[in-house]
């Protein structure tokens, strides 16, 4: 070895030490809380446990959890109790749904900048024909478990976090419209609204709302990292609770795993499952029970909700 080679090697080695020191320094910074922690994996067993509770509520109340029926209010009470115990500030908002009293549940996680509120929502009512486990126990339980994970992590987001469970969606998004109407000028404080309606469909697809490019990208990037093909959510345009927010000028996003229309050959190729069949053959029927769920779609989509909320509120 020549003298100059020896010097070059020594310089390389000291460079490596400096790089290592820099890595350790940033790692220490992360532990000190300067870098937001990654979103946790949401346990799908907990989400399914909530779906079993919704099923039991329907079983005990004439087979449904529909607006104006006792199974709906029992669903509100179940979700509210969990959130209250976890430290959320909850409010039940009453509204008129076709001459019958309806209820929205709104849960705020204390802290964060309320003039930039990141909001996630799902409709909690079923149709009168059945228990509404995929539609929309799935979205309701998904955001519930993400909310509980926020509490468990004692998340201190920069932006304020709020969760909403809407009543009377099935008669034309009545509860979410009532909420937005009541917001008035405060609607400018909603930084983003994410909607989750049917996220565990049995012949699933991975549809991402395409209404707002920034919010669409957050989800698309999340699925891309998992090598899951997504598709723009266009067929359901205006068919769920994001409509009222969008009409009010709030940026909206969300997820959907399919309802009454049929999977194409391309979609079956991208996602597996059966082309020519409805994503959810039990859509709006009595058979939308706790068996009417694809566990992998439910698991993946719930993790995606956590990923998006962690990122958007940080």
- DSSP class of 43: -
Closest distance between ligand DPN and the C-beta of residue 202, in Å?
Answer: 15
Q: Which residue is nearest to ligand DPN (CB)?
A: 236
**Which of residues 64 and 302 has its CB atom nearest to Zn ion in the complex?**
64
* Interface stretch with Zn ion, choices 3-11, 83-91, 133-141, 188-196 (CB under 5 A): 133-141
**Nearest-approach distance from CB 259 to ligand DPN, in angstroms:** 4
169 catalytic per annotation: yes
Q: What does the alpha-carbon distance between residue 298 and residue 291 come to, in Å, rounded to a whole number?
A: 12
CB 135 within 8 A of CB 197: yes
Of ligand DPN, Zn ion, none, which one sits near residue 288, judging by CB under 5 to 8 A according to partner kind? none
Shorter beta-carbon distance to ligand DPN: residue 116 or 239: 239
Residue 186 beta carbon to ligand DPN: minimum distance, rounded to whole angstroms: 25
Closer residue to ligand DPN (CB): 55 or 240 = 240
253: exposed, middle or buried (C-beta count within 10 Å: 0-12, 13-18, 19+)?
A: buried
- The DSSP result for 299-311, as a single string, is HHHHHHHHHHHHH
What is the residue-wise DSSP string for 90-155? Answer: EEEEEEEETTEEEEEEEEEES-SEEEEEEEEEEE--B-TTS--IIIIIIHHHHHHHHHHHHHHTT-
Place of tokens 């790692």: 27
Does residue 135 touch Zn ion according to CB under 5 A? yes
- Which residue number, 108 or 288, has a Cβ lying nearer to Zn ion? 288
Taking the C-alpha atoms of residue 65 and residue 47, their distance in angstroms, rounded to an integer, is 18
CB-CB contact of 143 with 214 (8 Å): no
Q: Footprint of ligand DPN on this chain (CB under 6 A)?
A: 135-136, 169-170, 197-198, 236, 239-240, 256, 259
Q: From the list ligand DPN, Zn ion, none, which binds 259 (C-beta under 5 to 8 Å, kind-based)?
A: ligand DPN
Q: Which is nearer to ligand DPN, 112 or 236 (CB)?
A: 236
268 alpha carbon, distance to own chain's centre: 24
50 binds, among Zn ion, ligand DPN, none (CB under 5 to 8 A by kind): none
How far is residue 293's CA from residue 174's CA, in Å, rounded to a whole number?
Answer: 26
The nearer residue to ligand DPN, 218 or 243, going by C-beta atoms, is 243
Per annotation, catalytic residue among 169, 170, 216, 233:
169
Sign of CA dihedral 159, 137, 196, 250: negative
In angstroms, rounded to a whole number, what is the distance separating the alpha carbons of residues 237 and 230? 16
Q: How far is the CB of 132 from ligand DPN (least distance, A)?
A: 8
> Would you call 29 helix, strand, or coil by DSSP?
helix
Which of the listed partners (Zn ion, ligand DPN, none) does 280 bind, with a CB threshold of 5 to 8 Å by partner kind? none
Q: How far is the CB of 127 from Zn ion (least distance, A)?
A: 6
Residue 239 interface partner, choices Zn ion, ligand DPN, none, CB cut-off 5-8 Å depending on type: ligand DPN
**Residue 256, contacted partner among ligand DPN, Zn ion, none, CB below 5-8 A by kind:** ligand DPN
> Residues in the site for Zn ion, rule: CB under 5 A?
135
> Which residues are designated catalytic?
169
């Amino acid at each position: 070895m020549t003298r100059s080679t020896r010097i070059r090697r020594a310089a390389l080695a000291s460079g490596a030490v400096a790089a290592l020191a820099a890595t350790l320094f940033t790692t220490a910074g992360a532990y000190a809380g300067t870098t937001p922690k990654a979103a946790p994996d949401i346990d799908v067993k907990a989400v399914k446990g909530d779906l079993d509770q919704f099923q039991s509520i329907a079983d005990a109340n004439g087979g449904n959890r529909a607006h104006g029926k006792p199974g709906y209010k029992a669903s509100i009470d179940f979700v509210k109790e969990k959130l209250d115990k976890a430290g959320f500030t909850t409010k039940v908002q009453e509204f008129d749904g076709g001459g019958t009293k309806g209820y929205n549940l709104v849960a705020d996680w204390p802290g964060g900048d309320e003039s930039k509120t990141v909001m996630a929502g799902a409709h909690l009512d079923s149709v009168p024909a059945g228990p509404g486990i995929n539609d929309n126990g799935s979205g309701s339980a998904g955001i519930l478990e993400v909310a509980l994970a926020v509490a468990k992590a004692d998340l201190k987001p920069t932006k304020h976090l709020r969760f909403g469970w809407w009543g009377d969606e099935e008669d034309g998004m009545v509860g979410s419209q009532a909420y937005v109407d009541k917001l008035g000028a405060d609607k400018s404080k909603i930084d983003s609204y994410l909607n989750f309606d049917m996220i565990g469909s049995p012949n699933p697809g991975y549809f991402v709302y395409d209404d707002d490019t920034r919010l669409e990208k957050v989800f698309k990037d999340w699925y891309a990292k998992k090598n899951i093909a997504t598709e723009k959510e266009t067929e359901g345009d205006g068919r769920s609770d994001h409509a009222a927010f969008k009409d009010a000028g709030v940026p909206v996003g969300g997820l959907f795993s399919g309802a009454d229309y049929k999977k194409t050959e391309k979609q079956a190729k991208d996602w597996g499952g059966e082309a020519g069949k409805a994503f959810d053959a039990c859509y709006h029927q009595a058979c939308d029970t706790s068996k009417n769920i694809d566990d992998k779609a439910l698991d993946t989509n719930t993790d995606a909700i956590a990923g998006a909320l962690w990122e958007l509120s940080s």
